[in-house]
Amino acid sequence: MATKNYHVMMFPWLAFGHMLPFLELSKKLAAKGIRVSFVSTPKNLQRLPPVPSSLGDRIKLLEIALPSVDGLPVNCEATVDLQPGEIQYLKKAYDKLALPFEELLLENLPDLILIDFAPFWIPEIAAKCGVSTAFFSVYTASTLAYLGPPVELKNGSLRTRPEHFVHPPPWFNFHSLVAHRPDYAPTMMRSTHCPDASGVPSGQRIAKIVEGCKFVVVRSCNEFEEKYINLIEELYQRPVLPIGILPPAPETGTQPQTDSGWSYIFRWLDKQKSKSVVFVGFGSEYKMPIKQTHELACALELSEQPFLWILRKPEGVEYQEVLPTGFLSRTSNQGIVSLGWAPQQDILAHPSIGGCLFHSGWGTIIEALSFGHRLILIPMVADQGLNAKLLVEKEIGHEVPRNEDGSFCKDIVANSIRLVMNTEEGEKLRLRTAQVQKIFSDHRIHDSYIDQFIQHIKRLEFQKGNEK
């Protein structure tokens, strides 16, 4: 079967940390002649970055309307629109897409559907239509390995109490640090095993998807996570294909020149010493409480390290209350705070950036390591704590010690910044991240994984044709 005729459908979960990797993979497949249908809700499709015109004839955006459900605010179609407690209602609405998705599928029959962790109902629908499915995980292989095999995801028989989640699981057959902090373990247990408003725990969703799929695709590479990739292949009893880290294509860089605010910030960066500035950012999804925002501000001031802080304004807080009184004037010669969107890749590429203080989201880890930056980690939610432990295990990140309740204090954060940026231990981190940078910034390595994936799906199609 000719590659140019092969058709893949993408159906990510309704979070931009999921939709963007799915879109990135779509672009990489389309660039190699694969036809892609990318399915999401109207508002989310409008908010995605535009597809390059050169790929427009091979990537088709397909709308699927999100049903309304009690508890889900109007016009909220992604996790970024919601408070944490409301996300369960987004899952409930998402599950109501089963019938409209089946209708959409029949109108646009692909050869393969790549699905996220949430739509456990798709494999059965796809099988009725004679279409193969694969689970595309935007999480690390180590996170999937930590979550465990389908039987454990469904039953939770080996981890029955929160304290079981603070150690590497019993099925790890090698040394690992990957586990959750004690304060986050109860949340992890509830999310994995306890039904929410949707009625289906995340563990059951993943288990049903793994069991219903032909194979698993993970956003990682053997050069970074080989032992975890091999382990999840054993746990799942399915082929597991690393797809590479999907490094984003370089941004155009036009924003800093056309936006006067960013022009000023880049001029400030130009004046700083090489590798001296700490980039601080916790993404567009996480909503940091105002008390912790103030604590972080005090930590940056105490560290005396140059910083560039991309800050999301906490909900329900006036702009003048976002930062401690007098903070901006006291730190005017030390750093800059910017509220809202930021050209993150352009910032991380700047030679004055030397470290990143952030939440350990896998997407930002990939960007930061692509530039060889030192990593100061304050994980907040979901898989971030597991990612942080993986980076500590590999000696390329320093996790900030936390209080028993999971909060952090200014003195310890400030000490962590100084340790990573100005000490011998921090220099060891820099040397290790420089080694890993060679892997993360080598587009040829990750492009080769895309080629291997295409060869795999062509073989599957050939086998399916022979069976017919």
pLDDT tier, 322 (very low <50, low <70, confident <90, very high otherwise): confident
Structural domains for the chain:
7-249+442-467 (3.40.50.2000), 260-441 (3.40.50.2000)
The number of CA neighbours under 13 Å toward the Cβ of 93 is 25
pLDDT tier, 4 (very low <50, low <70, confident <90, very high otherwise): very low
Structure confidence at residue 35 (pLDDT): 94
Structure confidence at residue 426 (pLDDT): 84
The number of CA neighbours under 13 Å toward the Cβ of 425 is 12
pLDDT tier, 249 (very low <50, low <70, confident <90, very high otherwise): low
pLDDT tier, 257 (very low <50, low <70, confident <90, very high otherwise): very low
pLDDT tens, 422-440?
A: 888 888 888 999 999 999 9
Which amino acid belongs to residue 319? Y
Q: Is the predicted pLDDT of residue 250 greater than 70, yes or no?
A: no
pLDDT tens, 404-426?
A: 888 889 999 999 999 999 888 88
Listed range (186-190, 231-235, 241-245, 368-372) with the worst mean pLDDT: 186-190
Q: Is the predicted pLDDT of residue 467 greater than 70, yes or no?
A: no
Structure confidence at residue 315 (pLDDT): 67
Distance CA 217, CA 106 (A): 24
pLDDT tens, 349-389?
A: 999 999 999 999 999 899 999 999 999 999 988 899 999 99
Instruction: Share the mean pLDDT of the chain.
Output: 88
Distance CA 335, CA 309 (A): 8
Beta strands per DSSP E along 305-459: 307-311, 335-339, 353-358, 374-377, 398-399
Say if strands 132-137 and 374-377 run parallel, antiparallel, or are unpaired.
unpaired
Structure confidence at residue 261 (pLDDT): 64
Residues of the chain above pLDDT 70, percent: 93
Distance CA 384, CA 362 (A): 7
How many secondary structure helices (H) and strands (E) does the chain include? 20, 13
pLDDT tier, 319 (very low <50, low <70, confident <90, very high otherwise): low
**Owner of token pair 């890749």:** 345
Distance CA 398, CA 400 (A): 6
Task: Tell me what the mean pLDDT of segment 159-182 comes to.
Answer: 91
Global pTM reads 0.90
Long-range CB contacts (within 8 A, 24+) of 225-230: 225/140, 225/141, 225/142, 225/390, 227/174, 228/140, 228/141, 228/142, 228/144, 228/145, 229/141
Q: Which residues contact 89 (CB under 8 A, 6 or more apart)?
A: 69, 70, 71, 72, 197, 198
Q: Which residues contact 58 (CB under 8 A, 6 or more apart)?
A: 30, 33, 34, 35, 36
